[in-house]
Structure 1
Amino acid sequence: MTTGVRRRMGVEERRQQLIGVALELFGHRSPDEVSIDEIAAAAGISRPLVYHYFPGKQSLYEAALRRAADELAARFAEPRQGPLGARLLRVMGRFFDFVEEHGPGFEALMRGGPAVGSSTTHAMIDEVRQAAYVQILAHLGVTDPPARLELVVRSWVSLAESTALIWLDGRRIPRAELESQLVHDFAALAAVSAAYDDEMAGLLLRILSDEPVDGPFGDLAGRLGALLARVPAVPAQPVR
């Protein structure tokens, strides 16, 4: 962050500096708690100069959210090489990197913050969710998803978002475990859907055929197997 240093910048360079400063401040505290005076001081400029580039805190807040939304959406991009489970685990690692780096800002983006009711903010949130959805479909090699697959992917994207928001409140579960659990959640959602639909079953079998035993999905199978082994056997009922 730039502090106490004044220098001449072009219009766009100054705008980008202010957005970066605001995003950093919003990343550590709720945007409601950050004043224009603080943003000006952190940028090394006067309060009136901030208003020269942005009409008010709301417009600066939305510009900062725009940058955060673009960065968050980019975290779901991943080369489509190797097993799906490992790819999703890397995506979750980058996703939680963002969540940790920009905790209050992430909450503000997903919950609306001071821009509640703003169509601009809602549109940005929808863009992030849609970008994540499109990226996951690309990982699956599907361009025209059937209804059940769309339900699985969109449900999983929402689950990752809500899980991160809950995790930020106390961080009571180790982050690495949560990342693995979310990858396992994707497999579980797909497996339940596959039990109802032959097309989903075919997709799931194709995914699993490329998964190594020591990968995330193999780890889930081992955990479920160990859990089932602990279930007491039900005595056979006598034939009458």
Structure 2
Amino acid sequence: MTAATGTSGTSGAAAARPRRRLSVEQRREQLIAVALEMFARHAPEEVSIDDIAAAAGASRPLVYHYFPGKQALYEEAIRRAGEQLAALFEEPQHGPLSERLYRVMGRYLDFVDSHGPGFAALLRNASPAASQGTGAVVDQVRHAAERSVLSHLDLADPSPRMRLAVRTWIGNAEITALAWLADQEHDRRLDREELRVKLVQEFVMQLLVLQIQEPELRPRLRGYLALERPDGPAGQLLQQLLALMADEELAGEALRLASGASGHDI
């Protein structure tokens, strides 16, 4: 079944639109834009050249005039999607760190929601259309995201642990987004806002743990926290952690572990 079967009303309306003369560059850009939209809504193997031609109000031979086949058009569409996705991590470097990442994650989840099947197929790299070219796009997006997040930390020379923490968080965001999409199919998806805050707070937790391994970063952490607000993601997380430790039994177990005593010694 092709995408045209699942979206016959849309494709039929698109095919009925009168064709207009476009310049060579305009027509190429139009075909890429239409392909990007279709690959966002459907797995690549479900989209045919005929579907793309109909949606663009063009003929099949005209599509082949600009692209040698669906794979070339798919890779170009994915490259454009990768550029869009990488740009989502760009954020002005002022204000609380957790709130900057909160805005980034809002845009990220919006993108995931609107490019569901295409996003999943790309990141899983499991589609028949996956190639060395599409894999390179994913790597470029990850590197761009890493550079962006590290720039917000304002570290002249991030340590290997810090770089690993950032890469781990980006990978976790991808895995979480894929699981979020899969859960949508079963009507049991986590609330978008809750997920957005969760992702940001997980990064804050990584920063807190990192201070144990690299005490020299603590002044930097204090600087991050000094800008945070009580109602921001980081502020809410610390309040929740303090409330958790207010549980006497839990606090007692934590103190036991911290003191090095065994359960039999208490």
TM range (shorter): over 0.9
> Where in structure 1 are there 5+ consecutive unaligned residues?
none
In structure 2, give the amino acid aligned to 1:230.
D
More helix by share: 2
Structure 1 residue 114 and structure 2 residue 154: aligned? Answer: no
Q: TM-score, normalised by structure 1?
A: 0.93
Q: 1:91 aligns with which of 100, 104, 110?
A: 104
Structure 1 residue 78 and structure 2 residue 91: aligned? Answer: yes
Q: Is the 8 A contact 2:106 2:196 kept in 1?
A: yes
Q: Offset at 1:100?
A: 0.7
Q: Is the 8 A contact 1:69 1:109 kept in 2?
A: no
Q: List, as ranges, runs of 4+ consecutive aligned residues in structure 1 with deviation greater than 6 Å.
A: 235-239
* Cross-structure match for 2:196: 179
Q: Is the 8 A contact 2:44 2:129 kept in 1?
A: no
Q: Offset at 1:238?
A: 11
Separation of aligned partners in 2, 1:125 and 1:163: 16
Separation of aligned partners in 1, 2:20 and 2:264: 89
Judge which range, 92-101 or 163-172, deviates more.
163-172
Identity of aligned residues (%): 52
In structure 1, give the amino acid aligned to 2:44.
P
Q: Is the 8 A contact 2:45 2:129 kept in 1?
A: no
> Where in structure 2 are there 5+ consecutive unaligned residues?
1-9, 257-262
* Cross-structure match for 1:205: 222
Separation of aligned partners in 1, 2:219 and 2:213: 12
Q: Any idea what the Cα deviations from partners look like across 1:192-237, whole Å, max 9, x if unmatched? A: 1111112333332221122122211010011122223235154999
In structure 2, give the amino acid aligned to 1:3.
A
Change (3 A) 1:157 1:231: farther
Map 1:59-78 to 2 at 5 A.
Answer: 59-78=72-91
Structure 1 residue 22 and structure 2 residue 39: aligned? Answer: no
Q: Over aligned residue pairs, what C-alpha RMSD do you find? A: 2.2
Separation of aligned partners in 1, 2:30 and 2:128: 21
